[in-house]
Amino acid sequence: MNRVLITGTDTGVGKTWMACALARALAGAGRSVVAVKPVESGCGDAPSPEEDGVRLAAATGQRTPSRALRRFRAPIAPAVAADREGGAIDLDDLVAEIESLTAKADVVLLEGAGGLLSPCAWDWSQVDLAQALQATALVMTSDRLGSINHTLLTLSALDLAGLRVAGIVVSAPAVTDESSGGNGPAIARLSGIERVCAVPRAAEPAPTSPWLMEVAGWL
Domain map (residue ranges) of the chain:
2-218
What is the model's pLDDT at position 205?
77
What is the model's pLDDT at position 195?
97
In terms of phi and psi (left: phi > 0; alpha: psi -120 to 50; beta: otherwise), the region of 198 is beta
What is the model's pLDDT at position 130?
97
What is the model's pLDDT at position 90?
94
Q: Is the model's pLDDT at 210 over the cut of 70?
A: yes
What is the model's pLDDT at position 208?
67
Give the mean model confidence (pLDDT) for residues 31-54. Answer: 94
Give yes or no for a contact between 54 and 39, defined as CB atoms under 8 angstroms apart: no
The CATH number of 2-218 is 3.40.50.300
Phi, psi of 173 (to 5 degrees): -80, 165
What is the model's pLDDT at position 136?
98
**Could you tell me which of 39, 43, 9, 5 has the C-alpha nearest to residue 22?**
5
pLDDT in tens, 128-174: 999 999 999 999 999 999 999 999 999 999 999 999 999 999 999 98
* 104 among known catalytic residues: no
Q: Name the pTM for this structure.
A: 0.94
Pick the catalytic residue: 3, 24, 37, 150? 37
